[in-house]
Structure 1
Amino acid sequence: MDDWLKRLLAFKEEHELWHEGDCIVVAVSGGPDSMVMLHLLHALSGAEQLRVVAAHVDHGFRGQESKDEAELVRSFAAKLGIPFEATTLDMPSYIEATGMNSQQASRLKRYQFLHEVADRYGASRIALAHHADDQAETVLMRLLRGTGTSGLAGIQAKRRDKNVELIRPLLRINKAELTAYAELHSIPYAIDSSNMKRDYFRNELRLDVLPYLEQYNPQLSASLNRLAEIASVEDQWMQDEASRAFERLVSRSSGTFCELRRADLSSLPVALQRRLIKLILNYLSMETAGLKPGDKADFERIEAIRHAALAPSPTTWQTDAGGGVRFYREYDRLRWLTGEPHLSHSYWPPYAYTIEAMDDVLDVPEGGLSFRLTNAVAAADERGRYCADFDADQLLFPLTVRNRRPGDRMSVIGLNGTKKVQDMFVDLKIPPSERDRMPLVLDAAGQVLWIPGARRSAIALTGAGTTNVLRIQTVPCTMNLE
């Protein structure tokens, strides 16, 4: 086995690019890179038990030149005894109809065809001919446009796309080596004339910027590839750490709701704080997940959320997080929600339940609590925030359990007069999204007796002369709210 095949197999083993017996669709444009890749994979097909299929796309931009390239690939695949699939697209018409730019549109339709071929042949891999020079251009392009660590990782050797793996076996081989291999093995290839046009940013980088910068570092391409290699491994490690933090710290529900404690976010290093917020946005919004690595708007949005979440003073705050997601900080609770505000767990319609008897059990699913009413022989000194004793002889029955209404006030122990329930919620730092949900216990005169978990009123206090004690205890309600 020659050195080229050994290099390819070593790269394949390092990144698990394929397994023995796989069917691989090879995207072949007709240029030296893809023609060499087809030749190499064919050379390995026997030892690796691979089925190789050549797939070619004529985008319809260059007339006869494109047709000649299609014929070149077809004849070379026939010479190797490899199945050949091709399509001719009318990209100019498609671009005019969709308003997409030519590169985006071409990539979309090209990948669509490659997936169709993979489905037809039962292929698990699509091989793309990106090489080391492409990697250097990509990293430099992202640097110039502004990027983070994920962007510096450049093109990945392997990436899942729908039901197949996109693999790039040539990613560590440069263009000059590929051209030399083609000459050595008499592999025919075409030169795409559009590669010499400076209409595209990538072409300008390849033709002008990289050659200029290589005056200062002749090994610039190798340096950029090394940077991508280092960044890729470190980026994956940080992403894995962020994923573990996501699983450990974030409460979530069916792609519509995520919640995180402020203390948990602040305990993480800044790098993981940013990545965790991005993971939450990815979980909730495909639009946000599609932002490019290092996208300026993406970074600024995440930073705005992060700074608001970690501000030292207790606060409530909300903002548009993009992609149909809204971020809420409610004191020490951080929430990301999708959907309209009234569907985002922040609004609860009015509800009310009546308690007729001294011994009763009442489920209040809207408030998440069940109320257990019993007669006690005597009042206890300390009942806790979710249990309260009342002098039943001083109460006006029937009692009502409901959520708050405008103007609700409570007679507070130790305070002359009454205080607005709304102001009490603010003082107690009850998150705004919970205020409409929390149940209040009122007597028949509409006086607020108790807010479970928050505050008890000065009405019907028990004392030494109390002989008839009503004990109200709350526990989490297990009833489903339909």
Structure 2
Amino acid sequence: MQHPEAELVFAVERFIGERQLLLPNDTIVTAVSGGPDSTALLHVLHRLAPRYGWKLIAAHLNHQFRGAESEAEAELVASFASSLGVPCETGVADLPAWIRETGLNAQAAARDRRYAFLTEVAAKHGAERLALAHHADDQAETVLMRLVRGTGPSGLTGMPLTRRIGNLELVRPLLRIYKEELMGYCHEHSLPFAEDSSNRSRKYTRNRIRLDAMPALAGLNPQLPDALNRLADLMREEDDFLRQEAERARAALVTREDGGVAFSRNAFLALHVALQRRLIKLILNYVCGEPELADTADVSDYNRIERIREALAGERTPTLTIDLHGGFVFRRGYDRVWIGRRAACVGIVEGSEPAWLERDWLERGGFQWGDVLQGTVTARTNRDEASKDSSATEAFFDFDRLVFPLQIRFRRDGDRMDPLGLNGSKKVKDMFINKKIPLQARDRLPILEDAEGRILWIPGVGRSRHALLMDDTSRLLAVRIAPEAWKRLVSG
């Protein structure tokens, strides 16, 4: 909904009051870029300030991206603030140098430095609030951009009305006002503003959304910005409801145990699937210290959560271990589930239950499966240092030809293997018989399998023809079973 100019100040005032974005007698830092949006925001807050006892401070950071144009914008902001009698803090950041130093993209680097500067200004003046000039068109573009990139329900909430950084509350009083209204307001009051030339550059995703995608989609729905803003409003409330429900589920089901958290698989599976995903995300945030990814849900994040959820729901393997990135591990033992930090840098997993072996984990050195199996990844410096075949207690694989993640598991009915030297597959049951593996040992022997379900090696039985060492092999995975463990498995 757009407002006539005469009603714009009242609309902003009412929105601030309804959402309690600003309180009486607040000290407010207003970020002013020099563009029409932030110029209008400062002017509106200045008009309302006497009524509410607000103390305003304008703040502008020169990013030094556009040379003389950036200098002119800094001077314009300082002059405009002075004309209103509002103190103005200006800063300079060498963003090109910061980008070279950090490797961040231009927009991320600018955001980081800008917020650092604004929080410094707020601390200097003892400000409780930081007012930002994001408006309704910005919100619509944000929702569409996240949708195009790939997002979950949290991403569709758009930019939050408020966000806390330490003791500072970020607020967006213009999030219900459209760009056209702000431009009209500036013209009506003859407010000086600058047009940022970089806003016309299509090298930025947001600009392509604004300049190309939004106009094209408006041909299908002329009210597209309104529709996207309504979607953000609806999703914000539903996202908040799911967040609260996930917190309740965590409090009811999850307990702290052995340096991590534990919960009942059956109780978890009784939850709705949407709540299961939320609870996993909440647990990863709590245990692993992962940031809350409210603005995105990329493929890797989705896959990690789904993999854990499917591991909990799966019926084929009652016990298993999954390596999580950053030194954490997921363990399921029938009804008990535990997530926490691994005990050592080399992957140590229980030798009595199946385990998943991730590529990045193995690349850090290898794994140890209880006191039974050990795996090491090394550069192949001597072409004759490892046989292409295997012995009863040792096997070698071309690391870069393996399909990850690998799994250590026990035998299943119907298992087949593609043995080295045989053109075809063979029943594992028959291979056990041929190798005279004692009947009582067959359920205890570990089986190494790849992500495609192909058995790579069974100690004492044989290896497959997959991931053989070749002349161009540069890295090898050596997997060994401890001799004493082998004796124990086949004799006990």
Q: TM-score, normalised by structure 1?
A: 0.69
Distance 1:15 1:264 in 2: 38
Q: 1:292 deviation in Å? A: 4.6
Query: Partner of 1:432 in structure 2?
Result: none
Distance 1:252 1:295 in 2: 29
Distance 1:174 1:159 in 2: 21
Which residue, 35, 42, 61 being the options, matches 2:39? 35
Indicate the larger mover: 327-336 or 281-290. Answer: 281-290
Distance 1:320 1:224 in 2: 39
Indicate the larger mover: 13-22 or 213-222. Answer: 13-22
Query: Partner of 1:259 in structure 2?
Result: 262
323 and 42 in structure 1: CA distance in 2 versus 1, 3 angstrom threshold: farther
Distance 1:32 1:67 in 2: 17
Query: Partner of 1:212 in structure 2?
Result: 216
Asked if the contact 2:140–2:229 (Cα under 8 Å) also holds between the matched residues in 1, the reply is yes
Distance 1:122 1:220 in 2: 40
1:252 is paired with a residue whose SS is strand
Which residue, 199, 202, 219 being the options, matches 1:198? 202
| 1:305 partnered with 2:303 | no
Percent identity, please: 48
78 and 250 in structure 1: CA distance in 2 versus 1, 3 angstrom threshold: same
Distance 2:202 2:326 in 1: 34
Alignment of 1:244-283 (within 5 A): 244-252=248-256, 256-283=259-286
Distance 1:218 1:42 in 2: 34
Q: 1:290 deviation in Å? A: 4.9
47 and 291 in structure 1: CA distance in 2 versus 1, 3 angstrom threshold: closer
24 and 345 in structure 1: CA distance in 2 versus 1, 3 angstrom threshold: farther
2:228 is paired with a residue whose SS is helix
List per-residue Cα deviations over 1:199-243 (Å, max 9, x = no partner).
Answer: 101111111111111111111111111111111111111111111
What are the ranges of 5 or more consecutive residues in structure 1 without an aligned counterpart? 348-418, 424-482
Indicate the larger mover: 21-30 or 245-254. Answer: 245-254
Q: TM-score, normalised by structure 2?
A: 0.68
Distance 2:316 2:95 in 1: 56
The one-letter amino acid of 2:183's match is: T
List per-residue Cα deviations over 1:152-174 (Å, max 9, x = no partner).
Answer: 11111111122211111101111
Alignment of 1:281-296 (within 5 A): 281-290=284-293, 292-296=295-299
Q: 1:15 deviation in Å? A: 2.3
134 and 70 in structure 1: CA distance in 2 versus 1, 3 angstrom threshold: same
| 1:159 partnered with 2:163 | yes
Which residue, 157, 161, 174 being the options, matches 1:170? 174
* Pairwise CA RMSD: 2.4
155 and 288 in structure 1: CA distance in 2 versus 1, 3 angstrom threshold: closer
Distance 2:46 2:328 in 1: 48
The structure with the larger Rg is 1
Q: 1:339 deviation in Å? A: 4.2
Asked if the contact 1:45–1:51 (Cα under 8 Å) also holds between the matched residues in 2, the reply is yes
Q: 1:59 deviation in Å? A: 0.3
The one-letter amino acid of 1:82's match is: V
1:60 is paired with a residue whose SS is coil
290 and 139 in structure 1: CA distance in 2 versus 1, 3 angstrom threshold: closer
Q: 1:23 deviation in Å? A: 1.1
The one-letter amino acid of 1:52's match is: L
The one-letter amino acid of 1:202's match is: R
2:261 is paired with a residue whose SS is strand
Asked if the contact 2:284–2:290 (Cα under 8 Å) also holds between the matched residues in 1, the reply is no
Distance 1:289 1:191 in 2: 34
Which residue, 115, 125, 133 being the options, matches 2:119? 115
Query: Partner of 1:453 in structure 2?
Result: none
Which residue, 144, 160, 184 being the options, matches 2:148? 144
Query: Partner of 2:133 in structure 1?
Result: 129
Query: Partner of 1:77 in structure 2?
Result: 81
Asked if the contact 1:337–1:344 (Cα under 8 Å) also holds between the matched residues in 2, the reply is no
Distance 2:214 2:88 in 1: 36
Query: Partner of 2:101 in structure 1?
Result: 97
Distance 2:151 2:267 in 1: 27
Asked if the contact 1:321–1:327 (Cα under 8 Å) also holds between the matched residues in 2, the reply is yes
Q: 1:16 deviation in Å? A: 2.1
| 1:227 partnered with 2:231 | yes
The size of the alignment, in residue pairs, is 351
Asked if the contact 1:287–1:323 (Cα under 8 Å) also holds between the matched residues in 2, the reply is no
What are the ranges of 5 or more consecutive residues in structure 2 without an aligned counterpart? 351-439, 445-492
Q: 1:9 deviation in Å? A: 2.4
1:289 is paired with a residue whose SS is coil
Distance 1:121 1:337 in 2: 43
Which residue, 336, 340, 345 being the options, matches 2:339? 336
2:154 is paired with a residue whose SS is helix
Asked if the contact 2:265–2:312 (Cα under 8 Å) also holds between the matched residues in 1, the reply is yes
Distance 1:175 1:289 in 2: 30
Asked if the contact 2:158–2:295 (Cα under 8 Å) also holds between the matched residues in 1, the reply is no
List per-residue Cα deviations over 1:290-335 (Å, max 9, x = no partner).
Answer: 5753222111110110010122345112223334432111111111
Asked if the contact 2:154–2:239 (Cα under 8 Å) also holds between the matched residues in 1, the reply is yes
Distance 1:243 1:52 in 2: 38
Asked if the contact 2:146–2:295 (Cα under 8 Å) also holds between the matched residues in 1, the reply is no
List per-residue Cα deviations over 1:5-58 (Å, max 9, x = no partner).
Answer: 321122223322121111111110000000001111111111111111100010
Distance 1:32 1:163 in 2: 29
Distance 2:23 2:291 in 1: 34
Distance 2:227 2:136 in 1: 11
Which residue, 49, 52, 69 being the options, matches 1:65? 69
List per-residue Cα deviations over 1:320-354 (Å, max 9, x = no partner).
Answer: 3334432111111111112434899988xxxxxxx
Asked if the contact 2:288–2:340 (Cα under 8 Å) also holds between the matched residues in 1, the reply is no
1:189 is paired with a residue whose SS is coil
Asked if the contact 1:129–1:169 (Cα under 8 Å) also holds between the matched residues in 2, the reply is yes
Distance 1:21 1:325 in 2: 47
| 1:87 partnered with 2:95 | no
Asked if the contact 1:59–1:88 (Cα under 8 Å) also holds between the matched residues in 2, the reply is yes
1:100 is paired with a residue whose SS is coil
Asked if the contact 2:63–2:95 (Cα under 8 Å) also holds between the matched residues in 1, the reply is yes
Distance 1:123 1:323 in 2: 37
Q: 1:148 deviation in Å? A: 0.9
296 and 269 in structure 1: CA distance in 2 versus 1, 3 angstrom threshold: same
The one-letter amino acid of 2:61's match is: V
2:99 is paired with a residue whose SS is helix
Asked if the contact 1:30–1:190 (Cα under 8 Å) also holds between the matched residues in 2, the reply is yes
Distance 1:253 1:116 in 2: 40
Asked if the contact 1:33–1:129 (Cα under 8 Å) also holds between the matched residues in 2, the reply is yes
Asked if the contact 2:246–2:275 (Cα under 8 Å) also holds between the matched residues in 1, the reply is yes
1:186 is paired with a residue whose SS is coil
